[in-house]
Amino acid sequence: MTDKIVSIRDLWVYRREHAVLEDINLELLAGDFLGLIGPNGGGKSTLLKAMLGLIKPDRGSITIFGKKPAAARSRMGYVPQKTVFDQSFPVKVLDVVLMGRYSRTGLLHRYGLQDRKAALEALQAVGMENRAMREIGALSGGEQQRVFVARSLVSDPELLLLDEPTAGVDSAQQTDFYELLCHLNRDLGIAIVLVSHDVTAISTYVSKIACLNQRLYYHGSKELSNEDIEKAYGCPVEMIAHGTPHRVLRKHD
């Protein structure tokens, strides 16, 4: 029997008096690859942060690996929306990945041989081991995102949360990046939640899809009805297709 790793029940999150998330219910199993789509401001980033324990629910509950999110954080990896940093700052790729070992080493401890080995293995997993001693500012956008994924992998997570990781990455590198995620999910067994606006990519690569706009539309599969999409996006949808995915919108204001 496949293990349940995420259970979200009747979750509500408010910002001031405004409900950002309304009555969210979601279950994920080990090995799932969930694509999370929805309009800007719909609460996708808030949901990921709640799963990480960075935002506390106002109502409802979240358990990750049977624990409260903060207690399960060591078993999760997180890649936030495009990381902003000084491109001229002289930090090497290996050092960026080593930052992911902070929870194990602590702030004042030096990284040891085991930490460096883990960092190199993480870089190898994302195909960036030959860039270990390059400065990260010299890499392309797609290469930088691979490094940030390696940083999230260096603590051996069982669940990887990614918040629009291909924003600012060109289309050719996006394809490579999605293939990387499939490798991590299929070959390494890491469960993944991927937030994206790229409906075509979501349909192609993930095993399940959910649509979020304060409320969550989710049926445990890759299929979402036209009615679900229209409710979430607030505009009429003529067709969602899979296999050769495409999306057609009826004319609307």
Domain range for 173: 4-249
The 10s digit of each residue's pLDDT in 184-240 is 999 999 999 999 887 776 778 899 999 999 999 988 777 666 666 666 666 554 444
Dihedral angle, C-alpha 156, 158, 164, 169, nearest 10 °:
40
Residue pair 135/87 in contact (Cβ under 8 Å)? The answer is: no
Residue pair 221/208 in contact (Cβ under 8 Å)? The answer is: yes
The pTM for the full model equals 0.84
pLDDT at residue number 30: 95
The 10s digit of each residue's pLDDT in 146-188 is 999 999 999 899 999 999 888 777 777 888 888 999 999 999 9
CATH number where 98 lies: 3.40.50.300
Report the distance separating Cα 124 and Cα 186, nearest Å: 16
Dihedral angle, C-alpha 120, 126, 131, 132, nearest 10 °:
-20
| Both structure tokens of 11 | 């979750």
The answer to whether residue 126 scores a pLDDT higher than 60 is: yes
Q: Which amino acid is at 101?
A: R
Q: How many domains does the chain have?
A: 1
